[in-house]
A and B are shown apart, each in its own frame.
Chain A
Amino acid sequence: AQTVTQSQPEMSVQEAETVTLSCTYDTSESDYYLFWYKQPPSRQMILVIRQEAYKQQNATENRFSVNFQKAAKSFSLKISDSQLGDAAMYFCAYRWRSQGNLIFGKGTKLSVKP
């Protein structure tokens, strides 16, 4: 069975600094997707970034980038130039290509200090 592990329940970063959130996963599949979702206090689930497993190039979306290590089954999220609005719960999620369901990690609560 696939699993997703986020080992950092809480993280803190100073405004304008860089922070990295960790995620590891376990799967026997070769064709899958990985995602980072952000959940602010509004409770809405917001997609931050996605990575296709067969693409070796790390995904980047503005200040957000990932370090995808397929062999190590690691998928970390780097937030550069952190802003107060980045404070939220962040979830790492896995999806096997042939299924629509996501498997989530337990989340990392990110605080941003002014």
Chain B
Amino acid sequence: NAGVTQTPKFQVLKTGQSMTLQCAQDMNHEYMSWYRQDPGMGLRLIHYSVGAGITDQGEVPNGYNVSRSTTEDFPLRLLSAAPSQTSVYFCASSSVPPTGRAEAFFGQGTRLTVV
């Protein structure tokens, strides 16, 4: 009963480095999303996917890439990290149309610091 598994929990990068945040869900949800959380800003959508092979941009997509090769996995890639990408990142999944309780399920979050 893992739900949404997101790794790592913490990461420090130097400016210009690249990294991938991993996200996997075992609930067979079609919809997966990445959000970033900044103080006073709530959670803002970066990219989302409605199914394997289909991705789209959210509110703040610049500097991030995603792909969805399977229903389960939705990694987020930072190709060249910048200090402005210092944030807390959340992966989430949900069913569409809503089944059960309709809420999104979240990973544990990743605190990323870019120095």
* Partner-B contacts on A (CB < 8 A): 4, 6, 9, 33, 35, 43-45, 47, 50, 52, 91, 95, 97-107
Contacts and interface: CB of A to CB of B under 8 A. Distances in A.
A69 B110 CA distance: 35
Interface residues of B, number: 32
B106 A97 contact: no
Contact of A99 (B41, B88, B96, B111): B96
Contacts of B44: 104
B42 A45 contact: no
Given A43-B88, A44-B108, A101 B102 contact: no
B98 interface: yes
Given A9-B40, A52-B102, A106-B40, A100 B108 contact: no
Contacts of B48: 100-101
Given A91-B43, A95-B98, A95-B102, 14 more contacts: A33-B98, A44-B108, A45-B90, A47-B101, A50-B101, A50-B102, A97-B102, A98-B97, A99-B96, A101-B48, A104-B43, A106-B40, A106-B42, A107-B42
Contacts of A50: 101-103
B42 A104 contact: yes
Nearest to B43: A104
Secondary structure class of chain A's binding surface, majority of residues: loop
A111 B66 CA distance: 37
Interface in B18-34: 29-33
B41 A106 contact: yes
In this complex, the member of A91, A95, A100, A101 whose beta carbon has the largest number of chain B beta carbons within 10 angstroms is A100
B54 interface: no
A91 B42 contact: yes
B29, B92, B102, B111: residue with the most chain A Cβ atoms closer than 10 Å: B102
10 contacts: A4-B42, A44-B106, A45-B109, A50-B103, A97-B102, A99-B96, A100-B33, A100-B93, A100-B95, A102-B92
A43 B108 contact: yes
